[in-house]
Amino acid sequence: MKRSLRVAVCAALGVGFLAIAGGVSAQMPIEGTWRLDLKESKDVPDQMKNVDLKITLKGKVLTTARVVDALQIGDPVVVTIGEPPSERKFSSTMKGTIEANWKDGGKALEQVIRSTLAGTVIPVVQKTLITVSSDGKRMTRTQTTLQAGVSSERVLVYTRR
């Protein structure tokens, strides 16, 4: 009886380990350096043109750096996935909270930034849904911004370098 119980426990632990490992491998391949595809993107502001993204993921810590000609510009955006919103200073005039969560079983990542418009009390909420194509060569970042009751959308399409 004890032997069959040990076998059952080992089998359950093995299935649990495989389920956990499967969940990790199911997350999209977001890490790497990504080049903005201006032809495929929509409503790209001038300051984002010619800016690549370098994304790293260490455990649950996601770091997104803006890069021009292999040189990082500004501070990277760092967020811990699955944690409550954390306070950040995004620029000299903007502070707020940021959070990120896996969606659709790791096939998408949603990042939410809540802040106020510089010099006002007008709230700004920017939700970015990030997906990577099944072949891992194309990343799409759909940004929806709600500001003073007006919603706008920007679609940024990147190719892996």
pLDDT of 110 higher than 70: yes
pLDDT of 84 higher than 70: yes
pLDDT of 9 higher than 50: no
The pair of three-digit structure tokens given for residue 55, joined into one six-digit string: 């994304």
Given this model, what pLDDT does residue 126 score? 97
CB-side exposure of 121: number of CA atoms within 13 Å? Answer: 0
What are 132-144's pLDDT values in tens digits? Answer: 999 999 999 999 9
Q: Which residues pair with 116 in a beta bridge?
A: 123
The dihedral through the CA atoms of 105, 106, 108, 110 has a sign that is: positive
Distance CA 74, CA 68 (A): 11
Rounded to the nearest integer, the mean pLDDT of the chain is 85
- Around Cβ 55, how many Cβ atoms within 10 Å? 19
Distance CA 103, CA 100 (A): 10
Q: Which amino acid is at 104?
A: D
Sorted by sequence, the CB contacts under 8 Å of residue 161 that are 6+ apart come out as 32, 33, 34, 35, 52
- Around Cβ 160, how many Cβ atoms within 10 Å? 16
Mean pLDDT score, 87-114: 92
What domains are there in the chain, each with its CATH number? 27-160 (2.40.128.20)
Which comes out higher in pLDDT, residue 57 or 90?
Answer: 57
Distance CA 96, CA 119 (A): 13
Mean pLDDT score, 127-131: 98
Is 0.85 surpassed by the pTM of this model?
Answer: no
Furthest C-alpha separation in the chain? 72
pLDDT of 104 higher than 60: yes
Distance CA 119, CA 93 (A): 8
